[in-house]
Amino acid sequence: MKRRILAMSMAAVTALTSTSICAFADGQNSEALASAITIAKTRLDIPEELTEFSYNTSENYKTTTYNLTWSTPADADEYREVSVTVCGSLILSYFDSSMYSYKDADSHFAKLTGDALYKKAQAAVKKLNPTVADVISIDRDSLNITMYGSKAQFSFVRTKNGVPVSNDRGSIVLDKDTGDIIGFHMSWHVNASFRDSKSAISLDKAKQKYAEMIQLTPQYEFDYDWQTKKVTARLVYRQGQYGEINAFTGKKSDFSADGYYDGSNETEDAVADMDTGKGSGEGGYQFTEQEQAELDKKLPYASSEAVIKLMQADKWLTYSTDMELVSSDLYKVSFTGKDKYYYTANFSSYVPDENDYVYEEIVEEDGSVSVPAVESAQNWQEVNITVDAESGQIMSYYFWDTRDSRSSSYDLDKADKLAEEIAKTYAGDRFVEYKGNPSTDYSWTDQNNKTFYNGSSHSWDRYSSDILVSGDSISVGLNADMKLTNYSYSYTDVKLPDSSRMLSTDMVMQKFWENNDLNLYYLARFTDKKTKTVLVYGTDSDVYVDATTGEPVYDWQYASDAANDLSGIKDKKILKMAKALDDHGYLISTEKFSENDTADSAVFEQLMGVNTDEESKKLTRGDALVIFTKSVAGDAIPELKGIYKSPFSDVKDTDKNVGYYAIAYAMGAVSGNKLNAKADFTYGDMIKMVYTFYAAE
């Protein structure tokens, strides 16, 4: 398709952009815009039918970025849009809406090989950004070809001094059949200088410093099994610190890179199994043994009256006679293997008055009506409390008052002693298992530089053999008058693992390095004055392992770099098919194998996208055809009796699997007059069958 000839020559473009890769254009700048348009249209094919043009600019950190858009006119039969982002001499992104067209959404293998697409990607990057192409490293192994549609995508990263710049990276999308570019995106820190890595500390030294930085700490954790509805304890190592270390000093890096994701701040939700176990005896219904046991259960603190008496008798809890019960709940939890009953109640002295329902309509100048509520001036209090319904032990308590509590002075030492007395009393004998954390007072300073205090917070964490028991804690909150405002207590009553078999941190890190690399890379960020960079060491995975084995707590933790090992395949045709499957994202085996080795059912099921819920086993040819047919037709149709004729001379029409064999044969999964159902189904057979199946779709 022809491109329009632009009046501006490339010499003029070079002159405009030679001073900086990304220049700053203050306000409207027709020359800079013309340069951006010229760069886009000389490096990319902008179709002539996209006659509508628009643009916008963004100015950040002394650079101007042009976002250029060409599209079809409003009356076109089909809308298409091409967008290009240009900064100085760099094309930062390219988007063609036709890449999401459903016209070519059939399933087929790419016409180009992975290696051919890789060369096309290298050439495309050089054409798009010739001034920086030599420092862009495209990852051949990142190739992801979609079976449906026409997209093949590579990832790339900027390098300097042979070291990647971690947050200067991007991707390029090609047509998998032609190699034409259909999408591109990259982030780039301009005007950046990078210190040479020659004087960085050695990798061995860096591993030592990194291990020191992350502060591995053992702790007990609890895992809930949804099937057994039980909680079990496990002993793990977790990091106390996250991030990177400076590659020159070995100290923790405090560098904050823009556009750089840190996934270390994940949280976990606690779970509890709640079962109210209600039953009815009306109409002569006979209760089951379990139902009757629940009915006979004595729960002296499972009523609001009992809890009110408990609060009135306690010197730290607040309850006033003008409070009314708002809501309550009795529930049982059994996840520790022991039935525990808890009663929760909410009391409030709030009384709705007529002001809560009086509104004054205000008609604004534009005719709209606003309806502000007239707030009530009354003061009121609220209490939420949870107790052990059998023993009356206080599990949590929260008190709230509309009246502000503040003081010009606050004795934190006195508050510490009071909070500890409260915690000891409510937690009972188990308080000795908890260790205190530094307390905090809540203070603020007004415009007259006068300090006021609203109270303090105090907490304790549970330890066993000097190891933190994660999630088990006590907290106490006091207001400015040292009145108890909140209390919470948690204790998971399950057996903790023996810590005597725990690995040392050195052993844990040694095992961690067997499966993970310590990577050297640059980080960069923009500032108002210049681009700052730092060279760091870091890892792709956190250390979160079983403390007795060193294995990751979750199997998927170290599985992100799984790649096929095709080095054992000798047959060139089989190898070509295997490489095609690999380029399209199919995982055959991470371990070396031969095309003559017998295939595993789990591998074949994964490739075919079916799960038979059977244990993995070595496959026969008959087994393979059954799995193949299940993946495309399920079970019901192949199991129909009396309608299938065997396509093989060595299989009778009455064979229990004849339906599976006949369907697989009709779909071209297998050929020939004989099946040899008991013969081994090899990796070579599997690769040919899977490749043929997807190629024929």
423 or 261: whose pLDDT is higher?
423
Per the structure block, which two tokens stand in for 238? 């977790």
Dihedral (C-alpha) 126, 132, 135, 136: value to the nearest 10 degrees? -50
Q: Which residues contact 59 (CB under 8 A, 6 or more apart)?
A: 24, 25, 26, 65
Tokens of 183: 């999408």
Residue range 148-159: mean pLDDT, rounded: 92
CA–CA dist 554, 545 (Å, integer): 8
Give the span between the Cα atoms of 694 and 145, in whole angstroms: 13
- Residue 155 above 80 pLDDT? yes
pLDDT tens digits, 168-197: 999 999 999 999 999 999 999 888 889 999
Taking alpha carbons only, the member of 510, 323, 303, 339 closest to residue 399 is: 323
Q: Which residues contact 417 (CB under 8 A, 6 or more apart)?
A: none
Q: What value, to the nearest 5°, has the Cα angle with vertex 113 and ends 109 and 117?
A: 110
Secondary structure element (H or E) that encloses residue 544, with its range: strand 544-546
What is the structure's pLDDT at 566?
Answer: 93
Domain C-terminal end among 141, 158, 186:
186
**Is 39 in the same domain as 179?**
yes
Q: Residue 286: which pLDDT band, with cuts at 50, 70 and 90?
A: low
For residues 599 and 520, what is the distance between their CA atoms, to the nearest angstrom? 39
Same domain, 630 and 658: yes
Top mean pLDDT of 23-37, 89-103, 667-681 is at 667-681
Question: How crowded is residue 90: how many other Cβ atoms within 10 Å of its Cβ?
Answer: 20
Q: Is residue 450 included in any domain, yes or no?
A: yes
Name the pairing type of β-strands 340-348 and 324-333.
antiparallel
Q: Is the pLDDT confidence value at 268 over 50?
A: no
Q: Which two tokens stand for residue 277?
A: 């176990």
Q: Mapping DSSP to helix (H, G, I), strand (E, B) and coil, where does residue 423 land?
A: helix
Identify the three-state secondary structure at position 603: helix
- The answer to whether position 464 is within a domain reads no
Whether 220 contacts 497, CB under 8 Å: yes
- Does 273 fall in a domain? no
> Which tokens in the block code for residue 122?
């290298």
Are residues 413 and 519 located together in one domain of the fold?
no
Q: Is 90 helix (H, G, I), strand (E, B) or coil?
A: strand
pLDDT in tens, 394-426: 999 999 998 878 889 999 999 999 999 999 999
Residues 111 and 43 in one domain: yes
Which domain, by its residues, includes 54?
Answer: 10-186
Say yes or no: 19 and 144 in one domain. yes
* Residue 2 belongs to some domain of the structure: no
Q: pLDDT of 462-491, one tens digit each?
A: 999 999 999 999 999 999 999 999 999 999
If asked whether residues 532 and 451 sit together in one domain, one would say no
Residue 205: CA count within 13 A, CB half-sphere: 10
Answer whether 179's CB lies under 8 Å from 117's CB.
Answer: yes
Q: What angle do CA 501, 502, 508 make, to 5 degrees?
A: 135
Could you tell me the pLDDT band of residue 555, with boundaries at 50, 70 and 90? low
CA 549 to chain centre: 25
Instruction: Give residue-wise pLDDT tens across range 562-614.
Output: 789 999 999 999 999 999 999 888 889 888 999 999 999 989 998 888 888 78
Residue 152 lies in a domain: yes
User: 136 to each of 98, 129, 525, 607, 611, how far by Cα in Å?
Assistant: 26, 10, 18, 33, 41
- Return the pLDDT at 13: 36
Contact (Cβ atoms closer than 8 angstroms) between residue 223 and residue 492: no
Amino acid (1-letter code) at residue 84: V
How do 274-275 and 63-71 pair as beta strands? unpaired
Q: 178 and 210 share a domain?
A: no
The answer to whether the Cα torsion of 272, 541, 509, 254 is positive or negative is negative
Per-residue pLDDT at 332 exceeds 90: no
The CA-CA-CA angle for residues 278, 282, 288, to 5°, reads 50
For residue range 229-258, list pLDDT tens digits in order: 788 899 999 999 999 999 999 999 988 776
- Are residues 533 and 484 both part of a single domain? no
Residue pair 333/273 in contact (Cβ under 8 Å)? The answer is: yes
Q: What is the pLDDT of residue 558?
A: 55
Do 537 and 612 lie in one domain? The reply is no
Name the pLDDT band for 297 (thresholds 50, 70, 90).
confident
Give the pLDDT confidence of 52-80 residue by residue, as tens digits: 888 877 766 667 788 899 898 888 888 89
Q: How far apart are CA 696 and CA 147, in angstroms?
A: 12
For residue range 98-128, what is the model confidence (pLDDT) as tens digits?
A: 877 655 567 788 899 999 999 999 999 999 9
Residue 578 near residue 588 (C-beta atoms within 8 A):
yes
Q: Are residues 32 and 169 in the same domain?
A: yes
pLDDT at 263: 28
Checking DSSP bridges between strand 467-479 and strand 217-225, what pairing results, if any? parallel
Q: Give pLDDT, residue 228.
A: 75
Contact call for residues 85 and 66 (beta carbons, < 8 A): yes
**Measured between alpha carbons, how far is 339 from 184 in angstroms, rounded to an integer?**
59
Q: What is the DSSP string of 337-401?
A: SS-EEEEEEEEE-----GGGG-B--EE-TTS-EE--B-------EEEEEEEETTT--EEEEEEEE
Does residue 243 sit in the same domain as residue 152?
A: no
Distances (CA, A) of 377 to 83, 361, 372, 406, 479: 58, 20, 15, 20, 22
Give a yes or no: residue 285 inside a domain: no
Residue type, 3: R
The total number of structural domains that make up the chain: 4
Q: Band the pLDDT of 261: cuts 50, 70, 90.
A: very low
Indicate if 207 and 243 belong to the same structural domain: yes
Q: How many helices (H) and strands (E) does the chain have?
A: 13, 26
Q: In whole angstroms, give the CA distance from residue 489 to residue 431.
A: 10
Establish if 240 belongs to a structural domain.
yes
Mean pLDDT of 341-353: 85
- Tell whether 287 is covered by a domain: no
> Count of alpha carbons within 13 Å of 579, Cβ hemisphere only?
18
Nearest to 191 by CA among 360, 415, 349, 21: 21
Burial group, residue 127, by CB count within 10 angstroms (0-12, 13-18, 19+): middle
Phi and psi dihedrals of 573, rounded to 5? -65, -45
DSSP one-letter code for 88: T
Residue 538 DSSP SS3: strand
Please check the confidence at residue 9 and state whether its pLDDT lies above 50: no
